[in-house]
Amino acid sequence: MAPGAMSSAEVLDTLAGVKPVPYWLDDPGRPAAEPALTGGEQCDLLVVGGGYSGLWTALNAKERDPDRDVVLIEAREAAWAASGRNGGFCAASLTHGFGNGLARWPGELAKLEELGARNLDGIEAALDRHGIDCDFERSGEIDVATAPHQVEELAELHGEMSRLGLADGVELLDRDAVRAQVDSPTFLGGLWDRNGVAMLNPAKLGWGLKRACLALGVRIYENTPATTLAARGAGMAVRTPYGRVLARQVALATNVFPSLVKRIRPFTVPVYDYVLTTEPLTADQLATIGWQGRQGLGDSANQFHYFRLTADHRILWGGYDAIYPYGGKLSPELDQRPETYARLAGHFFDCFPQLAGVRFSHAWGGAIDTCSRFSAFFGTAHRGKVAYAAGYTGLGVGATRFGADVMLDLLAGERTERTSLEMVRTKPLPFPPEPFKWAGIGLTKWSLARADSHGGHRNLWLRTLDKVGLGFDS
């Protein structure tokens, strides 16, 4: 053990008082749920799902056409799942990072980057227009290198951005420069995107979108799961436990939960992600690490951490373990994973040894949906009367607003700059059935961890996945 390092027992002691709930949702300002649907409803557009994807769809639908009759149903409460428990990184990227976009859609990457930047601007404008206070800070994000090969990879990535004329506002940092922004002995370099990422409070965003939808006349029913979807006459019928909705069109915004369009289910898998927050840091504690710019941070490993400051000066620290449950099982029991919390706490003090002894206040986890291309996909069903978006892979805080507009374009039958994109017109490869899915995901995780510890070298399995379009480039 290095001099001054915390023992395993000391690390575990910092978790002794954690509350096993998402920090963001542990808020006395949490709004009361809207009543459940009982009986029948009719509308022009039914939105299924009350996370960001569904809320943006309902809001944008009313802004496009105030006379459109819109109903939203949510199985529990708005923003209770991934939308209310994520890290609060609102990125402009629609492709889960520049590298992933370059690998998959090089011919339209400039357009995707432009649309992503406009989408982030649109989010900021919508927050202002509807008076949504969600601690929005356009502070940017730094991808940090914690191994020598990652320094080289970030330099190569910056070089590609520069070559394509897409490096405006992106700065390559050496060791001293990155540590001048945030001081960790593990940081060897960084790539600072000054304009393309904002920090926000994810629960307050969801609750604010809900209020804005209600103010525009959207009828919202919570604790109302959709059980079946079927064509009925010129429209669609969706059953709920105590009623039914007849709608001319339906937008499915259920993401990690099984789609009502069953043929879509093989395209996504759930992955459980886990997060800690510290107690609020004192001014002296903050001074030991700097971080005056309040940027979001993420390290550049395959098994990466993401971390940021909250409005009340806590550090949120998440990532690393990504747990796929066999068969895609979703269970509240999986939302807590003490062994991951212990691992994350140890990594936290490796990164910030100057904060030794800081205690953690909240620990939580939950499932996000991912697909084989690591960014959202879109489509329609039932002869264009149903649209869906899924597979955001943890980047939905910003990208779901873009996806909402894609779904509305598809339902309108319009060819727009969004629906013309190859990214929108194509699907990822589906995952194989079990047990092959379990084995493949397990082998991929092992290979990615091995690459992290072997200078970034991708083994035969990862190179094969790259070749068939299943690799991941951040």
pLDDT tens digit sequence for 375-404: 999 999 999 999 999 999 888 999 999 999
Please, is 459 exposed, middle or buried when counting C-beta atoms within 10 Å of its C-beta (0-12, 13-18, 19+)? middle
Q: Which residue has the higher pLDDT, 469 or 431?
A: 431
Alpha carbon distance 162, 175 (integer Å): 21
Q: Report DSSP state, residue 428.
A: P
Alpha carbon distance 86, 83 (integer Å): 6
**Residue 152 half-sphere exposure toward CB, CA atoms < 13 A:** 6
pLDDT on residue 4? 61
pLDDT on residue 60? 98
Structure tokens given for 21: 């709930």
Alpha carbon distance 254, 274 (integer Å): 20
Alpha carbon distance 411, 379 (integer Å): 10
Residue 355 reports pLDDT greater than 70:
yes
Relative to beta strand 269-278, strand 360-370 is antiparallel
pLDDT class of 436 with cuts at 50, 70, 90: very high
* Domain ranges across the chain: 8-27+138-195+272-370, 32-137+196-268+372-431, 436-467
Alpha carbon distance 16, 360 (integer Å): 8
Percent of the chain surpassing pLDDT 70: 98
Q: What is the mean pLDDT of residues 243-270?
A: 96
Residue 474 reports pLDDT greater than 80:
no
Q: What is the mean pLDDT of residues 159-172?
A: 96
Residue 232 reports pLDDT greater than 80:
yes
Q: What is the mean pLDDT of residues 159-187?
A: 97
Cα dihedral 444→449→455→461 (10° resolution) = -20
pLDDT on residue 468? 78
pLDDT class of 471 with cuts at 50, 70, 90: low
pLDDT on residue 254? 96
Residue 365 reports pLDDT greater than 60:
yes
pLDDT on residue 61? 98
| CATH classification number, 32-137+196-268+372-431, choose in 1.20.1250.20, 3.40.50.300, 3.40.1390.10, 3.50.50.60 | 3.50.50.60
Residue 2 reports pLDDT greater than 60:
no
Q: Which CATH architecture has domain 8-27+138-195+272-370?
A: 2-Layer Sandwich (3.30)
Residue 443 reports pLDDT greater than 70:
yes
Q: What is the mean pLDDT of residues 290-299?
A: 96
pLDDT on residue 186? 97
Percent of the chain surpassing pLDDT 90: 94
Cα distances (Å, whole numbers) of residue 181 to 24, 172, 272, 286, 292? 26, 13, 31, 12, 7
Q: Which amino acid is at 300?
A: S
What's the first-to-final CA gap in the chain, in angstroms? 33
pLDDT on residue 469? 73
pLDDT on residue 465? 86
pLDDT in tens, 96-142: 999 999 999 999 999 999 999 999 999 999 999 999 999 999 999 99
pTM, entire model: 0.96
Q: What is the mean pLDDT of residues 164-180?
A: 97
pLDDT in tens, 312-323: 999 999 999 999
Closest CA to 141 of 176, 169, 122, 177: 169
Alpha carbon distance 117, 395 (integer Å): 14
Q: What is the mean pLDDT of residues 188-193?
A: 98
